[in-house]
Structure 1
Amino acid sequence: MAKILVVDDEQVLVKGIKFNLEHEGYQVEVGYDGEQAVELAREGGFDLILLDLMMPKIDGLQACMRIREFSNVPVIMLTAKGEDTDKIMGFECGADDYITKPFNLLELKARVRALLRRSGAAEHMRSDGVLAAGHIRLDPSGRAAWRDGVPVELTAKEFDLMELLLRNPGRVYSRENLLNVVWGYEYIGDYRTVDVHVRRLREKLELDPANPEYIRTKWGVGYYLAKV
C-alpha cells in the first residue's frame, strides 16, 4: 500500500488524518514543520505528501519548492486560506492539489485515492505504448516524459494533462472540461488552475514556450494538442 507523509503544525489534526489514512490501509509518517517536511521527503519512499501551507521554520510553499528540487512526489496542500491567489501560488510552487480547512475527511481520502491513482502509485503498470508528438515523448506505463530524448520531470497533474492531450490530438478542451477530466472534481470557476499547469507544461516540453508548437490555445475556447 502507498506510503504517505503528513506535515502540519496542528498535532491534533495530524493525529486525526494519520488515524483515518491508516484505517484505509496506507502507511503514514508525520512531521510538524516545513524543515521536517523537506528532510523526511528527501529520505524518500513516499507516494504522496499532505503539506500544510502555514507552518513554523519554513512555510508549505517554500517546503514544496525545495521538495520539487529532488522529487516529483504528488503534493496536496492543506491550508486555512481559501483565496485564489493562494491556490495559484501553491500550484506555481509545484503542488498537485489543494484543499481548504476545515475539510471533510471523506473528501480528503477521496482526493488522496484519486491522486495516487493518477500518479500510478495505486495501480498496476499499464501496457500502453509510448505517446509522441514531434520531439515530445510520454510513457504512460512508466509515468516518464522526454523532450528531444532528455528526461523531463512532470508533476502528477502535469503528466495527466499532457497524457490526455496526447491521446486526443486536435481535440479542443475547455478549461471546465480539463478540470473535470484531469482533476476529477470541480474547482468552481477556478480556471486559472488549468492555465498555470499548461504554462508549466510549455516551459518544460516546448522548445519555445512563448510560441508553442504543440500545446496550443484556441482563443476563447480552451487548449488542444496540434496534430503532427
Structure 2
Amino acid sequence: MRVVLIAECRRLAAQVSLALAHVNTAVDTIADVADAREAIEVHDYDLLIADLDHAPHLLLEFMKSKAPRHADLRKMVCGGRDAMGAVKAAIDLGADDFLMKPFDAAELQLRVGCLSPLTSKKSESEQRLVYSFGPVSIDQSTNSVWLDQKLVELTPREHGVLSALIRRPGQAVSKEQIASKISSLDSHADPTAIETYVYRLRRKLEHPRIMIRTIRGLGYLLDLRRE
C-alpha cells in the first residue's frame, strides 16, 4: 500500500511514516498542495491523508477535484479541534475517515487498514485478506506468509514483492509496478533493487511446485513449475 500525506508539520510526518512502516506501507510526505496534486497524477497512491490544520481551504479545493486519477483514491483527514469546521466540509466532499489529533500509532494503523484497497468494498476480489497460490499463502491482515503451512519470515519489501505477484498469479508484473507499491518518493526501489528482492524471495520460497519466473522485457510472474 502506498500513501501520500499532505502536511507541513515534520513531527506529524515522522509519526505517520514510522507508524505505517510497521504495516508495510510506504508514505510520501508533501507539504505543498499543488505539489501533492502533481504527485498524485504521476504515482499510483491508494490513500491520501490530509492535515486540515495546514491550509484547509487549499485542501478542500483539492478534494473537490473530479479528475480520473483521483476517483478511486481513498481520503482521510486529520486535525485538531480548531479544524472541525474544515473536517465537516471534507466529509461532505467525500472524505472516507477523520482522525482527531493527537492520535497514537495503533489507531492510525487500524484506520489506514480499514481504508486499504484490500478491505474496501469496491469489488469481491478487493475484500480478500488472504491470497493463495499453490503452497504459498499471504495474509494481508497480519502480514504473514506461509509455505506449506509453515511461517516464512520476509522483510517488508520482500513481502511487498510477493503481494504484488500473488494478486496477479500467472500474469507478468513489471518492475515499475512492483516499485510503485514498495517505494516512497524519498526511498525509491530502482530496477536493480527489485532484482535483489526477487532473488531473496526466490530463495525463501524455494519449492518444487511454484517458482517466480522472469519474463524478459515484461517483469516477473508467480507460476507453477512444469513437471
Greater RCO, 1 or 2 (C-alpha within 8 Å, sep 6+)? 2
TM-score w.r.t. length of structure 1: 0.48
TM-score w.r.t. length of structure 2: 0.48
Larger radius of gyration: 2
